[in-house]
Chains A and B, each alone.
Chain A
Amino acid sequence: MAEGRSDGARFFSPAGRHLLGLQGMHPTQIEPILDLAETYALMNRSRKTPRDLLRGRTVINLFFEDSTRTRTSFELAGKRLGADVINMSVAQSSVNKGETLLDTAATLNAMRTDILVVRHAQSGAPALLAKKVEAAVVNAGDGTHEHPTQALLDAVTIRRHLGRISGLTVAICGDVAHSRVARSNIHLLTAMANKVRVVGPPTLVPGAFSALGVEVHHTMEEGLRDADVVMMLRLQRERMSGGQVPSAREYFRFYGLNRRRLDLAKPGALVMHPGPMNRGVEIDSQIADSDQSVIQEQVEMGVAVRMAVLDRLVRGGVS
């Protein structure tokens, strides 16, 4: 942990003890995880996974924020590798009784946990936990900071379909400002030498994002042109009450993904969404269900990527 030369070292410790984020990660750190995930994807399909790999190991899903999909995905990943998986939904536990995050960490530490999978509404909460526990910490989404396993599963999905994960043009569309998915994807995709565009109204896609090495576009027509991949983000209801977007109908009118806009991208461009979707707000139902949509496969790759991450963390690190 002390090396700290780059952000990658900070978020993804040199020993590979934690997976806190993808910022600063090198392709040589990313590619082995993608390879391993593809192996696990095939094993999952043939229902032959190494069930003894994590036997006797404990994985705790520590979710301070509601999430069914990500939690289930990690739970399945752990179980398919033979780990004991415990779900702690902290929304209705001791944290509500006033226990601080660090008290929770101390408690879990005393239980000799191997891996803590943490989802928290505050950016940086998993990093704080990681400093205080013996266990390996996997960030399962922290505030508006990072969601590394989502970006990794997106990368696997893209690579399976397009045969590579570099030299592509990827448009990330919607509420980029408040999206941890967008940030993790930006870090991964730029590290892998792709051209990344972020697209949305200026209230949700601030020009300052260009500092992350991406192109900023405020119209779908510009942003989607000749894209290989179109990643849609979920528009949270709070954006409307918060005033960043006047109404769902206006949002769909100018920033919803429909056939006409998708046709500006490359023929056969992939359509992705981290879920859950708002049909008719950020994405037209027809597009979500079309041949170009790989949204269901993203979910499948989610389990495989999380298996790969748990595997690497237990067996001597991800790097």
Chain B
Amino acid sequence: MSAKSTDILFENVRLLDPASGLDRPGRLLVRSGRIADHDLPGAEGAPEGAEIVQGGGAVLCPGLVDIRVEIGEPGHEYRETVKSATRAAFAGGVTTVAVLPTGTPPIDDPAMVRLLRSRGDDPGSLTLLPYGAVTKGCKGGELAEIGLLREAGAVAFTDGAQAIASARLMKLALTYARGFGGMVVQHPEEPSLAGSGCATDGELAIRLGLPGIPTAAEAIMIARDIRLAELTGGRLHFGHVSTGEGVELIRRAKQRGLAVTCDTAPQYFDLNENAIGDFRTYAKFSPPLRAEADRLAICAALADGTIDAVASDHTPRDADDKRLPFAQAAAGGTGLATLLGVTLTRYHDGTLSLLDAVALLTSRPAALLGLDRETTAVTPSRARGGWRPAGALTAGHAADLCLFDPDRAWRVVAGSLPGHAQNTPFDGRALEGRVLGTWKEGLRVFGGEA
């Protein structure tokens, strides 16, 4: 992976750049790892020595930006390493990921932020943007060193799948993080209501004899935190929302002009609770899969723009984490390699336009994390730990690119997915939309010739 990025000319591609609304056939030139131009007159020849990639009419879009990823490293390398997660990401067209802070040790110290960021700094590496912990050890007790974490380059703040339970603590976190321009990402589930539940309350949970979590656990947390965001002026984001009631509260908060955003994950708009069928632990998630009405409500919220991004919610788990009685099995599924394919199901069924579907994976998540512009000064006191822009085909930006054929069919097969972790809930699912090639700063990191 030495810096041998040559100039590349993509020919005969459908350029798709949601940030600028661009969607037309064209060519794109990459020079020295950066996007040089995507407005070349058809007749103009390739620059001397440039590699030519024939797109064959496939879509060329910005590399995907995935804002919710867990990596086993550090602490759980048997589940996944940065290296294997990188393989899965590039195979899925993903070039930038925001990493949850809930590893071992947690990212609650500025040195951890720098360590993780440095893993993604080499040319051709997957860009790793660490979240900082909201509380020390992600334990929900005292505030973590949000200022120092932010200065070191923490992209936002969350305790991962651990909800910030105390209303007082959430108020403090929103207030304090505001002083450093930090967004707080909440796991939208009221923990005392969720208890030890592992499935959505309802007929299925009753039949299976599984402890249930009422969908109201999400609505209650979202309603509370919207009120706290309003009170504090803090920047609030909800990760993996999954209920109709939840997105309706966010929809109304946005209509009132509050700085509240949310994302969802593919399993919440492509699967419903029936996927847990015969105690299928690979479909165990937190929050749990919901009833069909909620799945449809999530689709509607994607279509009307209430949901700001689709994140993979990539959660690598070993077979031993999953081969347990349902209530004891680990929650979560891998998602990097299937992110684009599953999201495009909503394009193929007419819920989303192709531009809107790609926006949910590129420009919109990038904007949530402030990657839509050059960011250098994290704090006014000193410029350090800035982020490179991502998620747009803007001239001058790093050439992080994804080439995909929206109509090419493939089948998800657990056991042969790229990367180490194979705990996908989509095993056997036929998908339309396949990544043909991925480029990171002008280096081809996935795919042969299209």
Are A202 and B381 in touch, CB under 8 angstroms? Answer: no
* Chain B residues closer than 8 Å to A249, beta-carbon distance: 145, 148
Give the contacting residue for A244; candidates B151, B172, B381; CB below 8 A. Answer: B172
CA distance A241 to B144 in the complex (A): 12
Q: Which segment, of B39-47, B174-182, B197-205, B402-410, faces chain A?
A: B174-182
Are B142 and A241 in touch, CB under 8 angstroms? Answer: yes
Identify which of B147, B151, B168, B381 gathers the most chain A CB atoms within 10 Å of its CB: B147
Identify which of A218, A240, A250 gathers the most chain B CB atoms within 10 Å of its CB: A250
Are B176 and A254 in touch, CB under 8 angstroms? Answer: no
Are B148 and A243 in touch, CB under 8 angstroms? Answer: no
Q: How many A-B residue pairs have CB under 8 A?
A: 56
CA distance A100 to B302 in the complex (A): 63
- Known contacts A243-B142, A246-B144, A250-B145: A220-B172 contact under CB 8 Å: no
* Chain B residues closer than 8 Å to A254, beta-carbon distance: 147, 379, 381
* Chain A residues closer than 8 Å to B144, beta-carbon distance: 246
B380 interface residue per 8 A CB criterion: yes
How many B residues touch A, CB cutoff 8 Å?
A: 21
Identify which of A203, A240, A244, A249 gathers the most chain B CB atoms within 10 Å of its CB: A203
* Chain B residues closer than 8 Å to A203, beta-carbon distance: 172, 175-176, 179
**Who on chain A is nearest to B174 by CB?**
A202
**Who on chain B is nearest to A205 by CB?**
B179
Are A219 and B381 in touch, CB under 8 angstroms? Answer: yes
A201 interface residue per 8 A CB criterion: yes
How many A residues touch B, CB cutoff 8 Å?
A: 20
B233 interface residue per 8 A CB criterion: yes
Are A253 and B178 in touch, CB under 8 angstroms? Answer: no
* Chain B residues closer than 8 Å to A241, beta-carbon distance: 142
Query: CB within 8 Å of B: which of A168-222?
Result: 201-203, 207, 218-222
CA distance A44 to B233 in the complex (A): 51
**Who on chain B is nearest to A247 by CB?**
B145
B116 interface residue per 8 A CB criterion: no
CA distance A240 to B144 in the complex (A): 11
CA distance A173 to B284 in the complex (A): 50
B216 interface residue per 8 A CB criterion: no
Query: CB within 8 Å of A: which of B212-250?
Result: 232-233
CA distance A253 to B379 in the complex (A): 11
**Who on chain A is nearest to B233 by CB?**
A207
* Chain B residues closer than 8 Å to A253, beta-carbon distance: 147-148, 151
CA distance A222 to B232 in the complex (A): 21
Are B172 and A218 in touch, CB under 8 angstroms? Answer: no
Are A243 and B143 in touch, CB under 8 angstroms? Answer: yes
**Who on chain B is nearest to A219 by CB?**
B380
B165 interface residue per 8 A CB criterion: no
Give the contacting residue for B179; candidates A202, A221, A240; CB below 8 A. Answer: A202
Give the contacting residue for A201; candidates B151, B169, B176; CB below 8 A. Answer: B176
Least Cβ–Cβ distance between A78 and chain B, in angstroms: 43
Are B175 and A202 in touch, CB under 8 angstroms? Answer: yes
B146 interface residue per 8 A CB criterion: yes
* Chain B residues closer than 8 Å to A222, beta-carbon distance: 380
* Chain B residues closer than 8 Å to A244, beta-carbon distance: 143, 172, 176
CA distance A32 to B57 in the complex (A): 86
Least Cβ–Cβ distance between B149 and chain A, in angstroms: 9
CA distance A212 to B175 in the complex (A): 20
Are B172 and A250 in touch, CB under 8 angstroms? Answer: no
Query: CB within 8 Å of A: which of B361-382?
Result: 379-381
A246-B143, A246-B176 given; name 8 further pairs at CB < 8 Å: A202-B176, A202-B179, A207-B233, A219-B179, A222-B380, A246-B145, A247-B145, A249-B148
Interface of B with A (CB < 8 Å)? 136, 142-148, 151, 168-169, 172, 175-176, 178-179, 232-233, 379-381
Pairs of residues from A and B, 7 with the lowest C-beta to C-beta distance, nearest first: A246-B145, A218-B179, A250-B145, A246-B143, A202-B175, A202-B179, A203-B176
Q: List 9 A-B contacts (CB under 8 A).
A: A202-B176, A203-B172, A219-B179, A220-B381, A222-B380, A246-B147, A247-B145, A253-B147, A253-B148
